[in-house]
């Protein structure tokens, strides 16, 4: 990235700020980081937070506006597409708005990147996109397809498009940790299901994973990190061990367990030791040799079938220190 210009959509969000902080503080030598988002207040606050670093640029814009994206992408080397609507319950009530941002907005990113000759584009996706049951997951699954197919549109030329798909992010806005901490003040934590499980990743780990995959991507991959699982009930015990719990039932669009690779995807998935790679079934832009060993037949990567779990003690440490972890 030395001397490069990097743009991140949705850059004032939790991931965006962590990404910018990492790039600026760890000697990547970037020429410029462009933060594109819709909220001018958050942009001004972010500029102050980063001491008005002269490598930072702020663009007001919406991924729904392709013309604005083309203007923003001019001269950009790498695009991290993090902009999305992601509140599950909001998506169930407003599916059309999720479609406009998560699907049509992603299509605009692909087309603008091709028009402007960006080198590489990485989409941030979610475990909700695997065997989706809610609006958010369905729109992110379509976004993944658009990014993979983007390699067909650019053909043998640049840019190359790839995807990272990971689980719940510790410390992100709207995290269940914040919800449980607030509920604990009332003396009761509300649990949707006692057996619910989730994959877990810290912001710092998510940023590093994206950068690692950006380095090795060839185009068309969906990169999946190897993450620990946790029981939501254990998380509640870690946050407030002496607080009562109330089971309120699963919310609309919510799963009991999350998948990051399902059986059908595993037919074209590889294990390269450090992560899983789902390679495209159709490659209209030429055959690409992806590294790794095929996963076993019938393989599923699911939060309740995982080999690695965070204990209540480990969850306490992670929550208190926002500590990264390696599986």
How is the chain split into domains, by residue range?
Answer: 5-168+200-226+260-301
* 181: annotated active-site residue: no
Per residue in 46-64, pLDDT tens? Answer: 999 999 999 999 999 999 9
Q: Using 50, 70 and 90 to split pLDDT, how confident is the model at 171? A: low
Beta strand 78-81 with 32-37 is: unpaired
Residue that has been written with the tokens 């996109």 in this structure: 129
Task: Tokens 């498009």: give the residue.
Answer: 161
Which is nearest to 36 in space by CA: 161, 120, 65? 65
- pTM of this prediction exceeds 0.85: yes
pLDDT number for residue 83: 97
Q: Indicate which residue of 42, 86, 128, 138 is catalytic.
A: 128
Higher-confidence residue of 7 and 317: namely 7
Q: Are 75 and 55 in contact (CB under 8 A)?
A: no
The architecture CATH gives domain 5-168+200-226+260-301: 3-Layer(aba) Sandwich (3.40)
Query: Do the beta carbons of residue 39 and residue 17 sit within 8 Å?
Result: no
Residue 201, classified by CB atoms within 10 Å of its CB into exposed (0-12), middle (13-18) or buried (19+), is buried
- Token pair of 13 as six digits: 């969000």
Q: What is the pLDDT of residues 232-269, one digit of tens each?
A: 999 988 888 888 888 988 888 889 999 999 999 999 99
Pairwise pLDDT comparison (156 vs 222), residue with the higher score: 222
- pLDDT for res 321: 62
Rounded Cα distance between 317 and 321, Å, is 6
pLDDT attached to residue 284: 84
């Amino acid at each position: 990235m030395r001397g490069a210009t990097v743009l991140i959509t949705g850059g004032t969000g939790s991931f965006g700020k962590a990404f910018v902080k990492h790039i600026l503080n760890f000697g990547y030598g970037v020429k410029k980081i462009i933060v594109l988002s819709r909220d001018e207040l958050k942009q001004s606050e972010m500029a102050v937070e980063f001491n008005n670093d002269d490598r930072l640029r702020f663009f007001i814009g919406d991924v729904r506006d392709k013309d604005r994206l083309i203007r923003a992408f001019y001269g950009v080397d790498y695009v991290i597409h993090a902009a999305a609507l992601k509140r599950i319950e909001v998506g169930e009530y407003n599916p059309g708005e999720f479609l406009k941002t998560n699907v049509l907005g992603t299509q605009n990113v692909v087309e603008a990147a091709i028009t402007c000759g960006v080198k590489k584009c990485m989409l941030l996706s979610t475990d909700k996109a695997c065997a989706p049951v809610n609006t958010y997951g369905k729109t992110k699954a379509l976004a993944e397809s658009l990014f993979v197919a983007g390699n067909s549109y650019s053909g043998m030329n640049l840019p190359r498009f790839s995807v990272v798909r990971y689980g719940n992010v510790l410390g992100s806005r709207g995290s269940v940790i914040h919800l449980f901490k607030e509920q604990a003040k009332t003396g009761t934590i509300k649990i949707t299901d006692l057996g619910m499980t989730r994959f877990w990743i810290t912001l710092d780990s998510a940023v590093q994973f994206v950068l690692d995959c950006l380095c090795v991507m060839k185009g068309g991959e969906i990169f999946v990190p190897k993450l620990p699982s946790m029981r939501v009930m254990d998380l509640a015990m870690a946050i407030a061990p002496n607080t009562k719990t109330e089971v309120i039932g699963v919310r609309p669009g919510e799963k009991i367990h999350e998948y990051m690779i399902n059986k059908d995807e595993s037919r074209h998935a590889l294990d390269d030791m450090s992560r899983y790679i789902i390679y495209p079934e159709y490659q209209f832009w030429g055959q690409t040799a992806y590294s790794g060993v095929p996963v076993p037949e019938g393989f599923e990567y699911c939060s309740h079938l995982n080999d690695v779990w965070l204990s209540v003690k480990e969850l306490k440490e992670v929550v208190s220190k926002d500590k990264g972890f390696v599986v």
